Every structure is written in C-alpha cells, then in structure tokens.
Amino acid sequence: MSRIKCSFLLGVFFVLVSVQVSAQLEKGQLVDGIAAVIGDEIVLESDVEEQINYAKQQGSQMLDKCKVMESILINKIIVHEAKRDTLIENRSAAIRENVEMKYNQILSQFPDERAMLSAYKFRTGFEMKNAIEKIDTDQYYGQAKYQSITMKADVTPNEVTDFYNTFKLQLPEVKDEVTLAQISMYPKLTEAHKEEIINRLKKIKQDILSGESFESQARIYSEDPGSAANGGLMKNISRGQMVKPFEAAALNLQEGEISDPIESEFGFHIIQLERKAGKIYDARHILIATTPNSDEIAAAKKELDSIRTLIMDGKMTFKEAAYKFSDDKRTKFNAGILTNNDGSDKLERISLPPTLGYQIAGYNKGDITEVYEDEMNRRKVVTMVKIEDSIPAHQLSIETDYDRIKQMALNKKKSEMIDKWVKERIPHVFISIDNRYSNCTFEGDLQKAILTK
C-alpha cells in the first residue's frame, strides 16, 4: 500500500472518530503557531499534538510527527475541496447552532463548568466551543466529500474472493461475538407519586414568587446535572433542540415568567424564560426526575415478566413485543436488536457494558434472560435480553464471513478511489508548512506541492 494511502487512511480515521473525540477533547498544553496552510484551511501546532496524543491513547504505533502531519494535510485537502463543492450543502450555521447542545451534553457529565474545563484543559468555555465547532465542521465536510467520491463504489463476488485470497493471512481473528435484542421499560410512577413531585415544584415556584431567586432554588433542588450548578440556566437554545413539552412551555412564556410544572420524558420541570430572539432563546429550569420507588420498579418487573411469559409460550414474538412495549427508541423499531457504533449487530462479548455482559453469561442462542434492573438515558429501567446469535472466536472465512469480507474489499476499493482523487487534486491546492517540518519527507505528489516557509 502506498504511503499516501496509509496517511489518507489515518486522516479518515481521525475524521470518523471526531464525534467521539469531541467528548474527550484535550486542548491543553497549547503550542502557539501555524503548522501548515492548505488552501484556506489552517493547521495549528496544537492540532498536530492533539492527534498524536489521541493516537497514543488508542495504542497506535504510528506516532511519527511527519506521518501525522501528512495525514492531516491530506485530510485538510479533502475538507478544503468539500467546502468549495457547490453540490455539498453548507451547514456551517447548523453546526454552529449545535455546538451549544454538545457543550451542554459534555457539561452534564461534570458537577460544574470549571470542573469540565479543567478536565479537558481548556481555559474558557468559548475556547472549548470553538474547538467543538472546528471538529464538527471538518467531520461534516470530510465525510460529505468522502461519500460523494465513493458513492458509486461496488465490488463483485469475484472481487471479494480475490480480496480474500490475497489478504487472508492478514485478516484479523474474530473475537467472541453475540447478536442481542432487548426490551427495556421505564417503571411507571403512580399518580400519587407524580402529585407529590408536582406539589414540590409548586412550592418551589411559590417561594421564588415570594422573593427567592430562581437561580438559587435551581442550585438547591434541580436534578438536572447539566444545568443545576449554573442556576438552571441554558443559553442559546435553538428551536427544536429541546424535547417538545419543554419547548412548548418555554416559548409560551413571557420573558421573566415562570411556568407551572410540566412533564417531559426526563421528569417534571418549572421553566423561566430569560430571553427570546428569533429562533434562539435562553431559559432556566428546575427538574425533579421521575425516579421510581421500589414498589414501582417491582410493578414494572412483574409487567415485563408477564410479557416474557407470553413470548416463551409462543403467543407473541420478541420482535412484536419490542415494537409494542419497549421504551428504547433506538431498538424498538428494529426488533429490539442492539448495534455498535458502525451499525453492525455483531457485538464483541469483551466490549459489552459490564451489566449486560454479566446478565447474558451462561445463556445460549435463542435464550431470553430473566428481567433485571438497569439504566438507560440516566433513568431506571427494567430489561430483558434475547441472545439472537452467539459466534465463537474464529479466523475470518469466506464461507462464514462473506458480508464482513465484502465490506473490507469495498473499503479497500473506496480507499483506492480517494487515493486517486487526492493525487489529482494535490497540484491544484496551495500547501505550505512551517519550517519545523522541513526535514519531513512526504508522499511524492504531496512533497512536490509543498512550499516550505
């Protein structure tokens, strides 16, 4: 495989994982200075260090700074050309609007903003938001161009066989895998329990109207980890970003007005509208989560266990039950089937969440686990899992793993298409690198195009 192909693959890797990286940003130890310019795209020295640090965390051996820079250069060529492609929708505004939501999602994992910025080594929230926007922009344009170049790629059965015969000694061993389907249900609160929560919020609202600040009450009582420490404040909310009951209540308020308690999938809220400007608004809220008590959990277990009995007795299929009863929106319309990040339903046992791995231990293909307690979207659920398939560890074989090998062959063909496209575009893109990389030797066509400062 040519060096340009290797570096492109590394570059695509960084683009494709950028959604995950945005939740693990390590922008600290900033190194000032522009490392490279590709068209109108700028690469900072800190960007190079960031890629190297992430590669180290992932156990990559490809840590040579020159090779990392080469992958970034090729990735940036793709992004630069994508932004100039009039057939690719300009989504800069949408990406910018989405930054606040992602920022708040990350913030929800920490007690306060200061703790988050310290953990990710950013100096300010503004700096972190800029980094998220930059990563998401590159990811969007990089993927859009990649898809437009490779959209017609296909492989024939003969090409799959040729690929297998050529690379079979290099193909990885498949680890123990399972295909799983699940039904998860949120325990239902009794009307008395709901009334208790509503009355708590009514009392909090009355205290605010009597002189307590909404901000202080949110810090004391709100159970929203993403906003409680900030006095319940959520800024620059885009229409459509929040769940419908929340948004409907917030946008029906006048600035400064406080809503009555409203129910959403997360619990009960009171909301204060701070500011409304076009499609953007700021609001504070106090959330009391609908945390079920032991009796409500027991009732949910009993209900799901009765559904399990219907399935075991052949009166209903697992697929029908998932569609009718499951509260897991990710899987209920797909027969309850769990998938991994790349959409595959084959899950490595070793990578399963601990609770799930423990619950399916000892079960065989076709078995259904007992009903057990778990968490989903930070809420208590009761769950049962069906083992749809169990695949022992084995070496990839064309007889048993045709679809997987076909995808590998297709990926190789796509890589070759990108390789050819990049080589054709390199002479037409301005590329300049800082002289600290003057000793690097890049792939031939790339080396010719570089103007060292």
- Residue 370, domain CATH: 3.10.50.40
For residues 100 and 148, state if they share a domain: yes
CATH, residue 65: 1.10.4030
Q: What single-letter amino acid sits at 347?
A: L
Element (H, E) at 348: strand 347-348
For 391-446, the DSSP string reads: E--EE--TTT-HHHHHHHHHHHHHHHHHHHHHHHHGGGS-EEE-GGGTT----HHH
Domain co-membership, 183 together with 314? yes
Residues 222 and 335 in one domain: no
Cα angle value 266/268/274 (rounded, 5°): 100
The token pair at 22 is 């945005």
**301: three-class secondary structure by DSSP:** helix
Which tokens belong to 314?
A: 């052949």
| Domain's final residue, options 348, 376, 395 | 395
- Asked if the structure places residue 163 within a domain, the reply is no
Whether the predicted model's global pTM rises above the 0.85 cut? no
Instruction: Say if 121 falls within a structural domain.
Output: yes
Q: Is residue 276 domain-shared with residue 302, that is, in the same domain?
A: no
Alpha carbon distance 30, 260 (integer Å): 47
Contacts by 26-30, CB closer than 8 A, 24 or more apart = 26/50, 26/53, 26/54, 26/120, 26/121, 27/120, 27/121, 27/122, 27/127, 27/128, 27/131, 28/120, 28/121, 28/122, 29/121
Residue 45 sits in the same domain as residue 101: yes
- 10-15 — which CB contacts under 8 Å span 24+ positions? 10/62, 10/67, 10/68, 10/71, 11/71, 11/72, 11/74, 11/75, 11/78, 12/75, 12/142, 12/146, 12/418, 14/51, 14/54, 14/71, 14/72, 14/75, 15/75, 15/138, 15/139, 15/142, 15/143, 15/146
Q: What is the CA radius of gyration of the chain?
A: 26
Domain finish residue from 357, 373, 395:
395
* Residue 441 to residue 425: CA distance in whole angstroms: 19
Q: Note whether 267 and 324 are same-domain residues.
A: no
Report pLDDT for 4: 33
Q: What is the rounded CA–CA span in Å between residue 202 and residue 194?
A: 12
User: 69-94 pLDDT, tens per residue?
Assistant: 888 898 899 999 999 999 999 888 88
Query: Residue 59: its pLDDT value, please?
Result: 62
- As a whole number of angstroms, the distance between CA 62 and CA 52 comes to 9
- pLDDT value at residue 437: 87
Do 43 and 148 belong together in one domain? yes
> Could you tell me if 195 and 183 lie in one domain?
no
Q: Considering only CA atoms, which of 403, 182, 194, 420 is closest in space to residue 293? A: 194
168 part of a folded domain: no
* Pair (212, 99) in one structural domain: no
Residue at which a domain ends, from 289, 324, 347: 289
Mean pLDDT by 10 residues, the chain (453 residues): 36 38 40 80 82 66 78 90 91 83 76 81 86 88 94 95 94 92 96 96 96 94 87 84 89 93 93 89 93 95 97 96 95 94 88 94 96 91 96 91 93 93 91 87 79 57
What pLDDT shows up at residue 134?
Answer: 86
Specify the length of the chain in residues: 453
Q: 167 in a domain, yes or no?
A: no
Say whether both 317 and 377 belong to one domain: yes
Same domain? 214 vs 278: yes
Q: What is the pLDDT of residues 382-409, one digit of tens each?
A: 999 999 999 999 999 999 899 999 999 9
pLDDT at 41: 87
pLDDT at 46: 79
CA–CA separation, 20 and 75 (whole Å): 18
The boundaries of the domain holding residue 53 are: 3-157+405-452
Q: Please, which residues bridge with residue 174 across strands? A: 394
pLDDT of the residue at 390: 94
One domain for residues 232 and 323: no
- Does residue 223 fall inside a structural domain? yes
What's the number of domains the chain is made of? 3
